[in-house]
Amino acid sequence: MSTRTVLHEADIARALTRISHEILESNKGPDGLVLLGIPTRGVTLAHRIGGLLADFSGSTIPVGSLDVTMYRDDLHRNPTRTPRPTEIPADGIDGRVVVLVDDVLFSGRSIRAALDALQDIGRPSAVRLATLIDRGHRELPIRPDFVGKNLPSARDERVNVRLAEVDGIEEVTFES
């Protein structure tokens, strides 16, 4: 098995800065935004983007997490998944623009599960998707609004996102 690094710490920081600017531009400012990260690394990325949005706009953006474990359509294949807590900001999501944040977009099934989970929580005015890596191979008609890096890959390759807060190292690698 060979591993190659495709993004380093500075590349990740640049991608998140660009995503943050694009979110503010698309929303015409920070008003009404809520970021929800999909565990595990999506939550870390959501907090980083929230910090950048606050730096750029001067406004605090609510950040939370959305566990999709029980909404996945492949739960029967891997029933030992451990759910993580969903943490919705105090003001909720009703009437707000929710930006779902995930580390890697592949088949689209995690995002479909996130959309189902959102329905049980409230009714946002809009839902957007930000992902650090879009590797293609979609099985569902889901497209990200904000992408850090498009990295086409073979189906049998594995994309690993490692973040300092979770893994102690900052990189994105391909394993083939």
pLDDT of 46-101, one tens digit each?
Answer: 999 999 999 999 999 999 999 998 887 766 666 566 777 899 999 999 999 999 99
Q: Return the pLDDT at 171.
A: 98
Q: How many alpha carbons fall within 13 Å on the CB side of residue 32?
A: 14
Domains of the chain, by residue range, sit at 3-72+84-175
Q: Return the pLDDT at 78.
A: 66
Q: Which of 30-34, 71-75, 133-137 has maximum average pLDDT? A: 30-34
Percent of the chain with pLDDT over 70: 95
CB 104 within 8 Å of CB 131: yes
Q: Return the pLDDT at 48.
A: 98
Q: Return the pLDDT at 76.
A: 60
CA dihedral 89→91→94→95, nearest 10 degrees, is: -110
CATH classification number, 3-72+84-175, choose in 3.40.50.2020, 1.10.260.40, 1.10.3720.10, 3.40.50.300 = 3.40.50.2020
**Chain-centre distance of CA 49, in angstroms?**
10
3-state secondary structure 60-127: CCCEEECCCHHHCCCCCCCCCCCCCCCECCCCCCCCCEEEEEEEEECCCHHHHHHHHHHHHHCCCCEE
Running DSSP on this structure, what letter comes out for residue 39? T
The amino acid at residue 25 is E
Produce one character per residue of 158-169: b if its CB has 16 or more CB atoms within 10 Å, e if not: ebbbbbeeeeee
3-state helix, strand, coil in the chain (%, to 5): 30, 25, 40
pTM for the whole structure: 0.94
